[in-house]
Amino acid sequence: NLADDVGGLKKVLANVSTRGAMGEIQAEQILQSILSPNQYGKNVKTHPDCRGQVEFAIKLPGSDGNLDDPVWLPIDCKFPKEDYERLLDALDEGDKDLIEKAYSKFESNVTNKAKTIRKEYVSAPHTTDFAVMFLPTEGLYADVVRRPGLFEKLQRDCQIVVTGPSTLAAFVNSLQMGFRTLALEASASEVWNVLGAVKTEFVKFGGMMDTLHRQLNTAANTIGGDGKDSVQRRLRAMERKLKDVESIPSSSTNLLEGLNESDND
């Protein structure tokens, strides 16, 4: 029945490792749906002086734009269940003093978790100078944002960006757009080099065409121009000289053949 289902859910949520696994599964599903496997890592040691491994880390291009030597962006999942449940109970009761006490404990818990993430996983230049805390429910994220100044304090003092399921997806999507921009920039540089080579060859081709054009003009003038050395002018002069010479019948052309035979003898 419904009561048994609710009781079973509470038992699941009461187990710290199970809660952590829920957050990890949800975060991994978001990353898998947006990034390719080579764009992020799981259980990554991002801090050279700490033994801990962050649950997820996104690969960002290093100083030379190479992903083989990346800068890591740590993402760690947190679920402050007990303090959050106390806050929800206080909100249900509507007691202002109880709500404020619950909020204070909740804020302290979230802040401590943020400090732990920064201490264990943030290590510039091996990583970005901030990390991401992933809260696996929208309600949990909303209460962090709703608490006046908490979200900003985590960013300013702890260098931690808090995200929920939808905001993590939006955040990773923005990074993916950045990856595409970098890929386009790399492709653009290659295209630019090709265009530069084509331009060089085109200049050479233009020079060859100019030379060919001059040569063709010279040949055309030699054949059909009006210059004194043109073929057409020489041909017309020959025609004028031969104008008064009578042509012999075609049957008499054997005389030429006889001349050829005499030459052979």
Quick: pLDDT tens for 81-128.
Answer: 888 889 889 988 888 899 999 999 999 999 999 999 999 999 988 899
In the predicted model, is pLDDT for residue 62 greater than 60?
yes
CA nearest 29: which of 56, 5, 9, 2? 56
Residue 59 contacts residue 11 (beta carbons within 8 Å): no
3-state secondary structure of 243: coil
In the predicted model, is pLDDT for residue 21 greater than 80?
no
HSE of 236 in the Cβ direction (CA atoms, 13 Å)? 10
Query: What is the band of 50 on the pLDDT scale with cuts at 50, 70, 90?
Result: confident
Domain architecture of the chain: domains with CATH:
2-182 (3.40.1350)
CA nearest 141: which of 78, 95, 96, 193? 78
Residue 171 contacts residue 133 (beta carbons within 8 Å): no
In the predicted model, is pLDDT for residue 6 greater than 70?
no
pLDDT of the residue at 54:
95
d(CA 28, CA 33) in angstroms, rounded, equals 8
Q: What pLDDT, in 10s, does the model give residues 160-170?
A: 999 999 999 99
Q: What pLDDT, in 10s, does the model give residues 187-237?
A: 555 655 655 666 576 567 667 767 776 777 777 666 666 656 666 676 777
pLDDT of the residue at 141:
92
Phi then psi dihedrals of residue 152, to 5 deg? -65, -40
d(CA 259, CA 103) in angstroms, rounded, equals 127
pLDDT of the residue at 51:
83
d(CA 85, CA 64) in angstroms, rounded, equals 47
Query: What is the band of 260 on the pLDDT scale with cuts at 50, 70, 90?
Result: low
pLDDT of the residue at 13:
46
| Residues 6+ positions from 106 with CB-CB distance below 8 Å | 80, 83, 84, 86, 87, 143, 147
